[in-house]
Amino acid sequence: MNTIFQKDNIGLGKRKRAIARVFLVPGDGVITINKISGERYLQYNTNYLNSIWSPLKKLNLRNQFNIIAIVKGGGLT
């Protein structure tokens, strides 16, 4: 799995002391946050999940990519 995480395939977000690294990789439409299922990590909150998937839904690419996020700091939102 280390070969997927190349410097060109990363999205980096920072706010105050929180840092999120997000990878968009070919797959079957699964969200993984800190090695935990995205649904479980976000406590099955449909608003959070819909906001994550909305860009890929607009492009009809939801079932073609997986989202892998590594987050540190900040809260749930």
26-75 pLDDT tens trace: 999 999 999 999 999 999 999 999 999 999 999 999 899 999 999 998 77
Instruction: Please answer whether residues 23 and 35 qualify as being in contact, where contact means their C-beta atoms are separated by less than 8 angstroms.
Output: no
Domain 8-72 fold: Ribosomal Protein S5; domain 2 (3.30.230)
Of the candidates 14, 11, 77, 18, the one whose C-alpha atom is nearest the C-alpha of residue 49 is 77
Instruction: Give the tokens for residue 17.
Output: 């002391």
Q: What is the mean pLDDT of the chain?
A: 86
- Asked whether 31 and 17 are in contact (CB, 8 A), the reply is no
Locate the domains of the chain by residue range: 8-72
Is 26:62 a contact under the CB 8 Å cutoff?
no
Question: Which strand (E) or helix (H) includes residue 21?
Answer: strand 18-26
